[in-house]
Chains A and B, each alone.
Chain A
């Protein structure tokens, strides 16, 4: 799985640390790290909670572009 740079950029853009985001969506910081590193594939429920917190859509954060998929 590739790294989720979009989520990291969106989180940093909102001025949130990994710990802040983790607390807001009710998971551990390690889970947020694992998602950003591409080590963990979150459920749709968690994806939605993250999107809601960061004020973005699922497509923006978790949908891979075509050129990303080919890499």
Chain B
């Protein structure tokens, strides 16, 4: 593999994966609790997207916050990935709003609500990537 991580990054990446795995389990529990007890129904697509993107977003964010996302060539890679995520997220949200979306109908959250949630998560990851890349690029002594 071309990309290398130092020992601190490897340890913190492990921590980020562990926390996001726990978040994934908690999210599954919460979603089933909400749909069973509070009668908040989701379409299959929406439910899948929520269960997928909540732990993914947490995982990305923790790795960025721990400075263990981009390996030894941290800043450039993080910034490029951040910009790609921002563009993709913006495209998802923009294309959704151009098609006059319905997010809640017939007592359930629609597929479009799931897509909106995905877009928001991707934009959040993109913003976080750009923020941390900019922060890391400042070469000030701490």
Contacts and interface: CB of A to CB of B under 8 A. Distances in A.
Q: A interface, how many residues as a size bin?
A: 10 to 19
B142 A42 contact: no
B36 interface: no
Given A28-B67, A30-B67, A30-B136, A17 B141 contact: yes
A18 B138 CA distance: 12
Q: B interface, how many residues as a size bin?
A: 10 to 19
Nearest to A35: B8
A24 interface: no
Contacts of A40: 8
A46 B9 CA distance: 13
B7 A18 contact: no
Contact of B142 (A18, A28, A43, A46): A18
Nearest to B5: A28
| Residue picked from A19, A30, A34, A36, most chain B C-beta under 10 Å | A30
Given A27-B72, A28-B72, A30-B67, A37 B7 contact: no
7 contacts: A18-B141, A27-B6, A28-B67, A30-B8, A31-B6, A33-B142, A36-B142
Interface of B: 6-9, 67, 72, 74, 136, 139, 141-142
